Chain A
Amino acid sequence: MSTEQASSARTEGEPLLSIENLRTSFYTDKEVIRAVDGISFDIFRGETVGIVGESGSGKSVTARSIMRLVEKPGRIENGRIMYDGEDLLDKSPKQMRSIRGGSIAMVFQDPLTSLNPVYTVGNQIKEALRLHRGLSGSKATKEAIELLEAVGIPDAHRRVREYPHQFSGGMRQRAVIAMALACDPELLICDEPTTALDVTIQAQILELLEELQEERDLGIMFITHDMGVIAEIADRVNVMYAGEIVESAPVVELFESPKHPYTQGLLNSIPGQGLDEDERLATIEGDVPTPNEDPTYCRFAPRCPKAFAECDTVHPVPVDVGDSADDHRASCLLYPEDLPSEEAVAVHREGGQRGGDTR
C-alpha cells in the first residue's frame, strides 16, 4: 500500500464506498445530538482512509452508521451511503445482514470483550463462515484454521478450539481480525483496533492489516485518535471535529501542511515533533462541544486561536486548499487563502445556503 498505488486507484474508476452528507442524531430527553453532521468522503479499493478526532467527535458513530448498527435513541437522518453503486440506507434488514460481515466487516476497539467468552474462537469464526459462505463441519474448521494462520496465530489447529480467555490481548485482536476476514470482505472498518493494546502489539497489528490489505485489495476505514498510528497506516486522512469533517487530505500532505487550525493544533500536540528543549508541547484548550443544533457557525471557533468575528455567524464549508491537484480540502473561513478575508467568508456563506437534506 504505497501512496502512489493508492492515488492511482483514486483516479481510476468508482469508489468502493461513498458517503454523502451523512447525518446521524441521537434523541435524548433533553436534546437532539447530531453525533455525525453532514459528512462526505470516499474509500477506494486498496486504500486506507483514516478518521481522526478527539473522543466524542463522532468517529465511531460514523462507522456504526455505515454498518447500520446505530441503536436507539440514535437515528440516521440524512445522506447516502453508496456501496457498490447502491445505497445501504435503502437495504432491508435481511439484505443488510448479508452485507455485514460478508462485504463490509468491522473490527472493534476492545479485543478483550468483543469475543463471546462462552464459545471457542473457532466457533465464532465458523459462525461467520456458515452465515456468509454456507460452510460447515470440517470444511469450516479447516477454513477457520487457515484464517487464524493468515493473521499470524501460531499453532492454529490447536488454538481454534480454545476459548477467548486463553488468548492474550494481541492474539485476541488477531482472532477478531480473522473473524472479520472470514468472508472476504471488500471493506474493513477498524474502530480503534489498536487503542487497547501495547505499543509493540500495536505495531504488529498495523503490519498485519497492511499485509492483508495488499493480499486482498481491501478498502480500510481506520478510526483512531492517535496521529502516530494514522501516519503509519493511512493513505488519506479525514479529521473530524464535533460531528463534521474539518479537513481531508492525503496523509503526507496533511502532516506536511495542515490547513485547518484544529489539525494544526492536533499535530502540535504530538510529542517528539522536533521541538526545542525549552519549548512546551501545545495543547488545545477546552472540550469538544456537543453538536445539538443546526450549524450556523464554526464549531471550533470557541477553541480556535485564529477565530474572528464571522466565525460565530457563518458555517464554513469544505473548500480546496491544496497547492496541487491532491484533493486537499478544509472547512475554515480562513480559506481560500488567495482571496481576501471578506470574499473568502462570502464563499462559505453561499456554500452554506446550497445543499439541503436529501431524505
Chain B
Amino acid sequence: MSRWQYFLRRVLMSIPVVIFGTTITFALIRLGPLDPVSAILGTQYNPQAAEQIRTNLGLNQPLWSQYLDFMYRLFTFQLGQSWVIAPGTTAYELIEIYAPRTIWLGFWSVVIALFVGIPLGFYAGLNPNTPSDYVASFGGIVWRAMPNFWLAIMLVTALSQLGTWTNGLFTWQTWIVRTNVVTPPALGFFQSPVEQFLEDPGGWTESFIRATKQIAPAALVLGSASMGNEMRIGRTAVLETINSNYVETARAKGVSGRSLVWKHIFRNALIPLVPIITGEAFLLLGGSVFVETVFAINGLGWLFFNAAINGDLPLIGTLMFIFILILVGTNILQDFLYTIIDPRVGYDGGITVSTTTETEIPLRQRVAENPQPALIWAAVGAVLIGVELGAILQVVGAIAGVVVNLIPGDPGASAVQSLQAAFDAIPTLISRDVIPNQGYWNGTGYENTFLGLSPAVAWAIRVAVVYAYAFAVLAWAWNGYKRFRRHYRRVDWTPRDDVVNRFRGHSWGKFGLIIVITFVVMAVFAPTLGPTTMEQNILQPYDYEVSYWSEDTQSVETVLVGEANLGSGSQGAGDENVAPLTYDDFGRFHPFGTATNGKDLFTQVVFGARISLTIAVVAMGIAGLIGLALAMITAYYKGLADLATVLVSDSIQALPVIMVLILMLVIFQNTWVRELYDGAVLIILIFSIVYWPFIWRSIRGPALQVSEQDWIDAAKSFGQTPTQVMRKHMAPYVFSYMLIYASLSLGGIIISVAGLSYLGLGITAPTPEWGRLIANGQQYVASPSWHISLVPGLLITLVVTGLNAFGDGIRDAIDPQADTGDEAAATGGGA
C-alpha cells in the first residue's frame, strides 16, 4: 500500500466516525432525562406552549424520524438556531460572533506552544543533562501539570496587581496599548484587513497589537499544556535521533554539525511531534471552556458551556457537530502531515517483541522449610497492624453497615450496630483520641490537648505519626518482597526483577512515587489528619460546640461550631482573614487557614484528596477493565470485532472530552445517579465511558503483537478455550502497558474533575473538592486570603507532577521503548 492510498483510506475512515460521533451526540441529547422543552420555557411553563414547541422541534415524531432529521440537517449544514440562551438567533450568526475570538485565542496559543515548546525541547535534547536541560525539562513538566483554570486565575491576578506590586513602575493595562486584563479581544480590524490597513496603517497596527495583547495571557495559559508536551516529546525525540545509526553514518560521511542537526536530527525528531501538535486541537477546545470563562473571552467554549448549563439542546447538538468536524479534520491533517513527513507511512514493517516468562512457586512449602525470615517479617507486620487494628475493624464495621443498609428490611442491623460499637472501643495508636488537638486555653494552660501541648504542636505530632506509620508499613511491605526474593523464591531472577531494579535507578520516578504516597496517605488517613473532623466542622457545624478562651471575659466560653465558623471566615480584609498556620479567634488551629465561610481549609483539602483519588482510581480501573477486555477480544478474533471497536472508539475519541463531560453532567443533573456521593459516582461512570477508548488504543498494538506469538498457537493447540488463552497468555503481557497508560492518565483525571467542579458541575457540596475550593477563593487571590485558591492549586500541580513522574518511572521500568503516545491524557483534556 502506498503512502497516499493509506492516507485516502484514513480519510474515508473518518466519514463513519463523524456519523457515529454525531449519533452519540443525538443519543445523549434526546435519550437523556433532560427535557428540552422545559429548559426552553423555564418558569413560564404551560402545557399549551410546551405542545407548540414540541411540534416546532419535531419532538412528537417517532425517534427514528427525529434521528434521521437531525442527521440530515446537520450534514446539509442546516444548523438550526438557539432556543434558550439567545432565542431565535441562528447558529450561523452565533458562530460568526463567537468563533473568531476562539480562533484568535487558539492561533496564539498554538504559536506560543510551537515556537516556545519545540525549540526549548530540541535545545534540551541537544544539550542533555546540562543545568539548562534540567531547568527546561523540569519547568515543562511542572508547567503542564498546572490546571489551566487555576493558572488563568493566578495570571489574571498577577497582571492586575503588577502595578501595585511594582509601585506603578509597570502596569500591564497601560503597557504599549491600553487594555483590560479580562476582556474579549476586539477583532474589528479583522473584517477586511487589507482595505483597513491601506486606509490607516497606524491605526490598524495598533488594533492588531491591542487584540494580540488582550489575548496573550489567555493564549499563554491555553498553550501551556501543549507547550509542556511538545517540549518533553521534542527532547526525547532529539535524544533518540542523535544516538541513531544514521546520524553516525552521516557524521562518518563528513556532514558538518549544523547540517547534521537541521537535516538529519530535526527532520526525524519532528515525526513523533506530529500527533502532539495535532493533539493540541483537543486541548485547545477543552481548555477554551475554562480559559474563556476566566478571561471573559466570549468564544465558542464559553458559548458551549452556557448552552449546556442552560439546557439549550438544539444549539448543543449543532456545536458538538462542529467540534467533531474540527477534531476529525485535525486528525485528517495529522495523517496528511504523517504522509508528507514520514515516508514509512503505510508500510508494514516487522515489529520486534520482547518476551516475558513467569514461574509459579508453591510458596507455603518454601516458607515451612526456612521459617525464620518470614516469622520476623510477620511479627513486625502484626505489630504494625495491631496498633491500627481498631481503625481497620471500624472500616470493616462501616462496610458491613452499608451492606446491611442496601439489603431490603435491614436484617441484623442491630447486630451490626453492636459490632460497630465494639470495634469503636478498640484503642488505636493513630487516632484523634490518642493525640487530640482540639483543646482550649484555660488561662494557664491547654486543656484536652495531647500532653497539654498547644493545638498546633499536637496536630503536627499527629500528622508526623501518621506519615511515620504509613512509611513504616511501606518499608515493611518492601522488606517482605526482598525477603521473599532472597529466601523463598525458586528462581534467582525473573524479568520483573529488572523492572524493579530499573525503577530503583530512576530517581525522577522515585520522586514521583514519594509524592504519590504522600497524596495517597493524605486520602486514606483524611479523618485523622484534619485538625477537626468533617462531621463537626463541615457537615453538622450547628450540632457541635467548641470551647475557647475569651479575652473579653477572661474565661472559657462555649460557642456552636457554626457560629465560630461565621466569625473566622477568610474574606480578604485583615481582620476577616485566617491565614495558614494561625489560630482563629476561637483558639482553633488552621494549618492551611480557613475558607471564605470559616470552615477549615486543611480538612477540606484532605477530604478533597480522598474524592479525587477515589474518582481517578475507580474510573481508571473500570475504563481499564473495559479496554483490556476489548483488547483481548479484538486481538484474539480480529476482523469484524476489531473493526467495530475501532469505529466506536474513534468516534468517542473524536468527541471533545471536556465538552462531553460537561454535557453529560448537565443532562444527568437532576437524576438519582447525580446524588450518589455528591456526584462522584456519576463522574466515575462518565470518565469510564469516555476513557476506555484511549486505553484500548494504547494497548491494542501490544495485544495484537502478543496474539501473533507462537505460545498463543501452542496454547490453542493444547485445547485451551479462548477465554483461558486471553486471560492466561495474553492479558498479563498487555497488562503492563495498560499500567503505564493508566498511571500517566490519573493526573489528567484529577485535573479534569477539579476543572468541572470549578465550573460548578463536578462534585457538589458538602463533599469538599479542590476545584471548588479554587473557585471559592478566586476573588480573594490578590487579598490576604490568597491561600484559599493558591493552596489547592499548588497541591494539584504537585500531585499531578508526582503522578506523571511516577508514570514516567513505571514506563521506563517496564519498557523503556514503550510508545504510549497520547500525551494529552496526562493533562486532563485541557482543564
Contact = CB atoms under 8 A, between A and B. Distances in A.
A102 B271 CA distance: 31
A153 interface: no
A165 B1 CA distance: 13
A128 B251 CA distance: 10
B253 interface: yes
B344 A163 contact: yes
Interface in B219-275: 244-256, 263-264, 267-268, 271
A97 B271 CA distance: 28
A127 B253 contact: yes
A159 to B, nearest CB: 14
B576 interface: no
A177 to B, nearest CB: 11
Contact of B249 (A99, A102, A108, A120): A108
Interface string B699-737: 000000000000000000000000000000000000000
B268 A108 contact: no
A229 to B, nearest CB: 20
Contacts of A124: 250
A97 B246 contact: no
Contacts of B256: 94, 97
A22 B792 CA distance: 62
Of the candidates B248, B267, B271, the one having the most CB atoms from chain A within 10 angstroms of its own CB is: B248
Contacts of A149: none
B349 A113 contact: no
Interface in B256-299: 256, 263-264, 267-268, 271
Contact of B253 (A94, A119, A131): A131
Contact of A116 (B252, B264, B349): B264
Interface string A92-104: 0010011111100
B175 interface: no
Interface in A113-156: 113-120, 124, 127-128, 131-132
B672 interface: no
Contact of A114 (B249, B263, B344): B249
Given A108-B245, A131-B255, A165-B347, A118 B341 contact: yes
A353 B253 CA distance: 40
Contact of B246 (A94, A100, A117, A131): A117
Contacts of B250: 116, 124, 127
A105 interface: yes
Contact of B248 (A69, A119, A127): A69
Nearest to B349: A165
B339 to A, nearest CB: 12
B248 A128 contact: no
B675 interface: no
A165 B344 CA distance: 7
B343 interface: yes
A120 B271 CA distance: 16
B342 interface: yes
A176 B247 CA distance: 13
Given A117-B343, A163-B344, A165-B349, A101 B254 contact: yes
A108 B342 contact: no
A108 B253 contact: no
B248 A132 contact: no
A163 B246 CA distance: 13
A118 B253 contact: no
B703 to A, nearest CB: 25
A127 B245 contact: no
A57 B65 CA distance: 78
A110 B254 CA distance: 19
A179 interface: yes
Nearest to A128: B253
Given A116-B264, A117-B268, A101 B252 contact: yes
B254 A100 contact: yes
Of A99, A101, A117, A166, chain B has the most CB atoms within 10 Å of the CB of A117
B245 A101 contact: no
A100 B253 CA distance: 5
A106 interface: yes
A117 B254 contact: no
Nearest to A116: B246
Nearest to B342: A118
Contacts of B249: 106, 108, 114-116, 176, 179
Contacts of A165: 343-344, 347, 349
Among B255, B341, B347, the one with the most A-chain Cβ atoms within 10 Å of its Cβ is B255
Nearest to A189: B252
A113 B254 contact: no
B254 A116 contact: no
A202 to B, nearest CB: 19
- B contacts with A: majority SS: helix
B242 to A, nearest CB: 10
A108 B254 contact: no
B255 A97 contact: yes
Contacts of B248: 69, 108, 114
A67 interface: yes
Contact of A179 (B253, B268, B342): B253
B245 A118 contact: no
Interface centre among B251, B271, B341 (most CB of A within 10 A): B251
A69 B349 contact: no
Interface string B321-354: 0000000000000000000011110010100000
Contact of A98 (B245, B246, B254, B341): B254
Interface string B544-562: 0000000000000000000
A110 B252 contact: no
Residue of B245, B264, B349 ringed by the most chain A CB atoms within 10 A: B245
Given A116-B264, A116-B268, A117-B343, A110 B253 contact: no
Contacts of B341: 118
A159 B547 CA distance: 90
Nearest to B264: A116
Contacts of A108: 245, 248-249, 252
A105 B245 contact: no
A260 B251 CA distance: 37
A128 B267 contact: no
B343 A163 contact: yes
Nearest to A93: B257
Nearest to B242: A71
A76 B245 CA distance: 21
Contacts of B347: 165-166
Nearest to B260: A97
Contacts of B255: 97, 101, 127, 131
B246 A101 contact: no
A102 B245 contact: no
Contact of B254 (A114, A120, A131): A131
Interface in A64-98: 67, 69, 94, 97-98
A100 B342 contact: no
A174 B344 CA distance: 20
B268 to A, nearest CB: 6
Contact of A102 (B247, B254, B267): B254
Contacts of A97: 254-256
Interface centre among A108, A118, A128 (most CB of B within 10 A): A118
Contacts of A101: 252-255
Contacts of B251: 69, 100
11 contacts: A99-B254, A100-B254, A101-B252, A101-B254, A105-B253, A106-B252, A114-B248, A117-B344, A119-B263, A119-B267, A179-B253
Given A106-B249, A113-B244, A131-B254, 11 more contacts: A97-B254, A102-B254, A113-B245, A114-B248, A115-B249, A116-B246, A116-B249, A118-B343, A165-B343, A165-B344, A166-B347
Interface of A: 67, 69, 94, 97-102, 105-106, 108, 110, 113-120, 124, 127-128, 131-132, 163, 165-166, 176, 179-180
Sorted nearest first, the 3 A-B pairs with minimum C-beta distance are: A101-B254, A100-B254, A101-B253
